[in-house]
Structure 1
C-alpha cells in the first residue's frame, strides 16, 4: 500500500491530537476524525478533515486508525465498546490501529491479540515530546509491533514526528514509555522540592534554575521552563503524571521489583492532585 492509499481515522482531539491531525492535513493525508466533544471536531472540519458521526462510520472508511485518548478504559471502549461495538467490528481486514495513549502494557498486548482475530494489526505507539512537539511535528514515537505494521505506518509517523524507536512487540513500547514518564515524574517532584527549599531560603526561582541548569542537576524539565510552569499551572497534568507513575508501579509489581523513589513521587502527585480546587 502506497502513501496515497492510506486513509487515516483519528480519535481523540485534545491538546495533542488536534495539532497531530493538523499536521496530517497539511501533508495532504485524507483524515476522518471523531471525538465525543463535537466542538473539538469543527475546527478540523474547517481545515479539511472529514468528521464521522460515530466510531462505526469512521472505521468503515479508513484503513489506519490513530487513538490518543486519556485512559485505558477509553481505549478499550473505542476498540471493543458496547452497545454498538467498537471500531474492531467495522474495520477492514488488514487495517492497522495505532495506540498513542499511555496505558498498561498488558492491556495493549491483550488488545493486539483480540484485534488479530479480525485480521487487524496493532501498533503500540506512545509518543514523547509534549504539546510543543505535537504542534511542530517533532514528536518521538516508541513503537511495538510487527515490522510490516511499522513500515506501513512509516509515512504517517514521519509526518508527525522526528524519530521512531522500535522496541519489540505490542506492550513493549508502553513499558519503555512508562520508564521515560517515571523518570520525568520523579524528576519533576525533585525539582518541586528544590524550588520549595529555594522559596523558604528566600532565593529566586530564576537564580536557582540558572545554577541548576549550569550544573549537574540539569534535566529536560529544569531546562524547559514552559513545561515546568505548565505542570505547576494545571492540576490535570499532575493527575496524568500520577496515572503514569501508578502504571509504572503496577508494572514493577508484575515483575516483582521495588521502585521506592517512584512510590514516594507517586504519593506526592496523588496528594497534590487531590488537594487542587475543583474546576
Structure 2
C-alpha cells in the first residue's frame, strides 16, 4: 500500500524519496514520480516527514532502531507510521522516536489497496495535536479523511476496533447469504432487501462476499484481494491480544479471530477476506475444512 500512497503524494507535487525491499514495487513507485533513495536511511536523512508502511511492529521498531532510521533523520523530523501494529509496539516506537529527538504519529489506515490507489483512505492518528495538524495536509492527499483519535497508540487502538467490527460483520453477512441460499433466496434478492434495511453495512454494500450484487467487490474477481485474509487475521489477532490485556470477554471478536486465523492459513492465504463465505458454505455442505 505504501507505493500508491507515495505516488499520490508525488502526484500532488511533493518531492518523495522512497525505498522498498521489493525491487518491482520500487520500480513501480519510481514510474509514478517517487525518487529512489537507495536506502531507508538516505530517504530519512533528506526528509522533513518520514512515512513508513510495514507488516508488523517488529519491523517498525527494527527500522527505527537497529536499521538506523531515527539516527539518520534530522532532529525534529516528523515520523508517521501507517502500519497496523500492536498498540504497545506503537507506543514503544513513539518513545524511541522522542528519545532520539523526533516527533511522531501512529496513523494506520482503512481502505485497502483500492483506497490507497484512489486516495480515499481513512487515517486514524494517535499523537500530539501539533503533530497531527502538520501531518493532516499530507494525510488528506493520500486519503479522504483523517481523524485525530488521541495520544500515542490511539490510532492503532481505533484501527483494531474498526477491523474487529469489519471481521465480525463480514462473517455475519457471509453466514446470512449461505443461509439465504439454503432457504431458496437468491443472493440478489437478499442484497436488495438487506442493503436498504437494518442489515446494511460496508461488508454488504461495498465488499459483498458473493458474486453479482456489487460489481466492484472481490467476489467478482475470484476473490483477488482488496484486503487480504492474512491481513484481516493479523488485525484480529492484534484485537484478540488487546482484549486479553484488557480483560474483556468479547466472544464474537475472539471467534472471528479464530475463524480468520484458520482461513488465512488455508484457502484464504491468497484471497480477499470476503472469501470466507466459501469456507462457511463448504462447512455447511460437510465436505471438509476449506473450500
TM-score normalized by structure 2?
Answer: 0.83
Q: Which residue of 2 aligns with 1:3?
A: none
- Residues 154 and 234 (structure 1 numbering): CA distance in 2 closer, same or farther, change over 3 Å? closer
Q: Which residue of 2 aligns with 1:261?
A: 252
One of 183, 193, 203 as aligned partner of 1:201: 183
Matched, 1:181 2:163: yes
Unaligned runs of 5+ in 2: 207-213, 271-291
- Residues 136 and 275 (structure 1 numbering): CA distance in 2 closer, same or farther, change over 3 Å? closer
One of 97, 114, 121 as aligned partner of 2:96: 114
One of 234, 237, 241 as aligned partner of 1:250: 241
One of 7, 20, 26 as aligned partner of 2:5: 20
Per the TM alignment, residue 278 of structure 1 is displaced from its structure 2 partner at its CA by 6.7
Matched, 1:239 2:221: no
- Residues 259 and 231 (structure 1 numbering): CA distance in 2 closer, same or farther, change over 3 Å? farther
- Residues 158 and 234 (structure 1 numbering): CA distance in 2 closer, same or farther, change over 3 Å? closer
C-alpha separation between the residues in 2 aligned to 1:207 and 1:182?
Answer: 27
Paired residues of 1:231 and 1:238 also in contact (CA < 8 A): no
Matched, 1:93 2:84: no
Paired residues of 1:128 and 1:141 also in contact (CA < 8 A): yes
Show CA shifts across 1:150-184 (max 9, x none).
12222211211222211111101111111100000
Per the TM alignment, residue 149 of structure 1 is displaced from its structure 2 partner at its CA by 1.1
Per the TM alignment, residue 227 of structure 1 is displaced from its structure 2 partner at its CA by 4.3
C-alpha separation between the residues in 2 aligned to 1:235 and 1:46?
Answer: 22
C-alpha separation between the residues in 1 aligned to 2:55 and 2:186?
Answer: 36
C-alpha separation between the residues in 1 aligned to 2:257 and 2:84?
Answer: 16
Paired residues of 1:222 and 1:228 also in contact (CA < 8 A): no
What SS does structure 1 have at the residue aligned with 2:228? helix
Paired residues of 1:129 and 1:140 also in contact (CA < 8 A): yes
Matched, 1:79 2:64: yes
Unaligned runs of 5+ in 1: 1-15
Correspondence 1:144-163 to 2 at 5 A: 144-163=126-145
C-alpha separation between the residues in 2 aligned to 1:122 and 1:242?
Answer: 27
One of 267, 284, 290 as aligned partner of 1:276: 267
C-alpha separation between the residues in 2 aligned to 1:161 and 1:74?
Answer: 24
Per the TM alignment, residue 231 of structure 1 is displaced from its structure 2 partner at its CA by 9.5
What SS does structure 1 have at the residue aligned with 2:147? strand
Paired residues of 2:218 and 2:225 also in contact (CA < 8 A): no
TM-score normalized by structure 1?
Answer: 0.86
- Residues 137 and 50 (structure 1 numbering): CA distance in 2 closer, same or farther, change over 3 Å? same
Q: Which residue of 2 aligns with 1:141?
A: 123
Deviates more, 1:220-229 or 1:87-96: 220-229
Paired residues of 1:236 and 1:273 also in contact (CA < 8 A): no
C-alpha separation between the residues in 2 aligned to 1:43 and 1:228?
Answer: 23
- Residues 237 and 201 (structure 1 numbering): CA distance in 2 closer, same or farther, change over 3 Å? same
